[in-house]
């Protein structure tokens, strides 16, 4: 029997803007080899990564050209899909 969580997509919903754009670029960099879907809506992006989505603060900072803390990302992230794990250097969205 197949695991129903295998094909589950997880990731953040980001408000459009500088941080949202940087998060998209960082997720594409930090999750190479994973299926990534970006849904663009009027005022936000829904970023969907198959199984697990890794977002490193250092990568987002590289995209922005300045240091980034979890609070910077969280303030531009009104929602997310999956289980979230936040540490000092990254956010992980997990399907299980």
Residue 29 lies in a domain: yes
d(CA 56, CA 78): 18
Residue 51 domain boundaries:
9-94
Q: What is the CATH number of the domain that holds 80?
A: 3.90.56.10
Number of domains in the chain: 1
Residue 4 lies in a domain: no
Nearest of 39, 48, 60 to residue 12 by alpha carbon: 48
pLDDT at 4 (0 to 100) = 52
pLDDT in tens, 14-49: 999 999 999 999 999 999 999 999 999 999 999 999
DSSP 29: H
Residue 3 lies in a domain: no
pLDDT in tens, 62-75: 999 999 999 999 99
Q: Which residues partner with 9 through β-bridges? A: 50
Residue 2 lies in a domain: no
């Amino acid at each position: 029997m197949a695991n129903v969580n295998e094909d589950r997509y997880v990731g953040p919903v980001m408000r459009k803007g500088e941080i949202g754009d940087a998060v998209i670029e960082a997720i594409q960099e930090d999750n190479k080899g994973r299926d990534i879907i970006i849904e663009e809506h009027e005022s936000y992006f829904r970023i969907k990564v198959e199984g697990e989505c890794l977002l490193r603060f250092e990568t987002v900072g590289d995209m922005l050209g300045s240091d980034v803390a979890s609070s910077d990302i969280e303030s531009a992230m009104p929602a997310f899909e999956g289980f979230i794990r936040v540490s000092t250097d990254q956010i992980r969205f997990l399907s299980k």
